[in-house]
A and B are shown apart, each in its own frame.
Chain A
Amino acid sequence: MKRLALYAGALGFTVFAGFPFYWMLITAFKQNRDLYVGAADVHHVPWIFNDPPTLEHVKLLLGQTEFPSWVLNTLLVVAAVVVITVAVAVPAGYSLARLAGRWGERLGMGIFFTYLIPPTLLFIPFARLVSLLHLQDSLGALILIYPTMTIPFCTWLVMGFLRSVPWEIEEQAMIDGYSRLAVILRVAPRLIVPGILTVVVFTFTLVTQEFVYALTFISSVQRMTVSLGVPIALVRGDVYHWGALMAAALFTSIPLAIVYNLFIDRFIQGFTMGAVKG
C-alpha cells in the first residue's frame, strides 16, 4: 500500500515536470497534418505519432531561420560574461573568505542581497544607461549588464566554497616562506578550481536563461540570443511554426538540463546559505 502510493507519487511528479518536454519532443518531429488536428476531435490521439515522424521542422529551424546565429550570439555573450565574472567574483570571494576578517561575512551577505534586486526593476534605468553608451541593439549591452546578476551570486558561491577548503595548505605555504601575495597567486588558484568551475556553469546557465534584458535591449533579429529569438522572432505575426519552435526549445533545454543535474548540489548550497547545515 505504501509502496503503491510512492510509485503513484513518483509517476505523478515525473509526468507533471516532464510533460511539457515530451510535448516539445513529439511536436518537433510530427508532420503538420498530424500536428494541426483540432483538440475537439477526440478520435485523433495527440499524444502519439499517428503519422511517421519527420525532420522537416528541424531542417526549417537550422536552414531557414536565424537559430544558428542566435546560438553563436549566446555562446559569445556566455564567453565574455564568464571571463568578467571569474575575473571579478573569484578574487572578491577569496578576499571575503580569507582576508576581510569578521567583516567578510556581513559584506558578503550585502553583496549577495543585490542578487535579489530584479531585472524588472533595473531595466528602466539601464535603458537610459545603454542609450547613453550607444549600446542599443548590441550584444555589448548584455555583456555589460549580465555580470550584475552573476557577480553577486558567484562571489557568494566562491566565499562559501573556500570555507570548506582547509586553511592549513595556505598557512603551510606561508610558513615555508611564501608571501601572502605569493600564496594568493601560486597556491590559492589550484585550491579554487572546483569553485571556479561552478562559477562558469552558473554563469552559462544564467546567461542562457536570461530574457528580460535581452528583450529590452536587442531588437534586430540577427543579434538575438536563443532565449529571446525563439519565442519572439520565430513567431511571425500570428503564424506560429510550432514544430520549429518546439525543436528549438528542446535543443536548448537538453544541454542545460544535463549541466544542471551535475551541479545541482553546489547551487543549492549557495541558495540555502546557513539555513541548512551539513
Chain B
Amino acid sequence: MTPPSPPPRRTLADREDLLGALMLTPALAYVILLVGVPFVLAIVLSFSDATAGSLSFAWAGARNYAAILADPIFRRALGNTAIVTIGTQLLVVILATAAAQVFRATFPGKRFARFALLLPWAVPVSLAAIAWTWIFDSTFSVINWTLKAAGLLHGWLYWLGDPALALCAIIIVQAWRIFPFATVIVLAGLSSIPQEIVEASIVDGAGFWRRLFKVELPLLLPVVAVAVLFGVVYTATDLGVVYILTGGGPANTTHVLSTLAFQRGILGADLGQGAAIAVFLLPFLIVVAIGMLRLARRAEVGGKA
C-alpha cells in the first residue's frame, strides 16, 4: 500500500491571483496615474482659469467654452478638423482598396514596391511634413513645375498660401501617410477571406468588379472599419502635419483643434482655454471607441459560431 501522494504544495509562489496582480500593478499604475488622471484633469482644466505661469487655478464654469464657441477661429478649426478627417478617410479607403488589389498579385519588383509603400508610415510625421512643405513651396514646388511642363497649369498654385488649397494639401499629406497602413490591414483581411467563396463566385461567372463589390468588399467591411477607425484617430488628433505645413495660416484659416489648442494652451499659456479646445476631440474619439467595441464583439461572436 502506497500512501496517497501529498497534496500539491500551495505556497505564495503558487498563488496565481497574487502573482497576476503583482505583475499587472506597475502597468495599471502607470496607465491610471499618467493617462487616466491627466485625462480627467484635461476636462477639469477646461472649466478653470488655469495658466501656465502659476499652479493655482479657480473654477471658471463654462466661461472657456463660451469664449471659444463665440470665436470664429475656433469654429473654423472645428470645421477644418471634420473636413480633414472625413476627406482623408474617403481618400484612404479608395486608395487602400485599390492598392490592396494590386499588392495581392505577384509581379516583378514587388519587394521594392512594398518597401516604397511602407515608407510613408515609417517616417516620423514631422519629417514627412517638412519634406512636403518643400514639395509645396510657393516658388520651387515640383508639383507646379510638373503640371506646367505637362501643359496642365497656366496660372500658379500657392499650395500653402491659399486656404482651400492648403486644406487640400493637408488632406493629401494625411492620406499619403495613412493609406499604407490601411492597405496592409486590408491585405491582411483579403488573405483571410475563405478561398472557396471567391472561387465559387468565379465559377458562377462573376467578373472582377462584381467580385470586388458583391463578394470581397462586404466580407472586408470589418477590416476596412478597423483601418478607418485608426485613421480617424491619427488624423483628427494629429498636430505635426498642420503645425509644420501651414502653422494654422494663412490668417488662422487652416487651424485644426490640436494646433489651436497648442497655440492657445501652450504658446499662449491659457491652459483653461487650450483644454476646452482639446476637449472637442472627444466626440471623434468616442465614435472610434464605440466602433472598436462593436467590432471586437462581432469578432467574439463570430469566433464562437
Which residues on A are within 8 Å of B, measured CB to CB? 2, 6-7, 9-10, 13-14, 16-18, 20-21, 23-24, 27, 35-40, 42, 45-47, 87-89, 91-92, 94-96, 98-100, 107, 109, 111, 113-114, 116-129, 131-132, 144-145, 147-148, 151-152, 155, 179-182, 184, 205, 208-212, 215-216, 226-228, 230-231, 240, 242, 245-246, 248-249, 252-253, 256-257, 259-261, 264, 268, 271-278
Contacts and interface: CB of A to CB of B under 8 A. Distances in A.
Contact of B55 (A46, A118, A132): A132
Interface stretch (B67-75, B160-168, B197-205, B232-240): B232-240
Q: Which 8 A-B pairs have the closest CB atoms?
A: A274-B299, A99-B20, A118-B237, A92-B27, A181-B13, A18-B116, A91-B23, A120-B258
Contacts of A242: 134
* Interface of A, helix, strand, loop or mixed by DSSP: helix
B258 to A, nearest CB: 4
Interface stretch (B82-90, B94-102, B210-218): B94-102
B271 interface: yes
Contact of A148 (B24, B30, B146, B225): B30
Given A114-B36, A231-B130, A125 B45 contact: yes
B243 to A, nearest CB: 8
A247 B296 CA distance: 43
Contact of B123 (A9, A36, A257, A273): A257
A111 B27 CA distance: 9
A81 to B, nearest CB: 12
5 contacts: A100-B20, A124-B278, A181-B12, A249-B123, A274-B299
A181 B112 CA distance: 47
B131 A209 contact: no
B42 A124 contact: yes
A276 B223 CA distance: 7
B209 interface: no
B117 interface: yes
B16 A180 contact: yes
A49 B257 CA distance: 41
A48 to B, nearest CB: 12
B226 A14 contact: no
Contacts of B52: 127-128, 131
Contact of B126 (A6, A87, A230): A230
A23 B185 contact: no
Given A23-B134, A125-B45, A209-B124, A109 B140 contact: no
A118 B45 contact: no
Given A10-B110, A39-B139, A245-B130, 10 more contacts: A42-B149, A47-B146, A95-B22, A116-B233, A124-B274, A128-B52, A148-B34, A211-B126, A231-B244, A252-B124
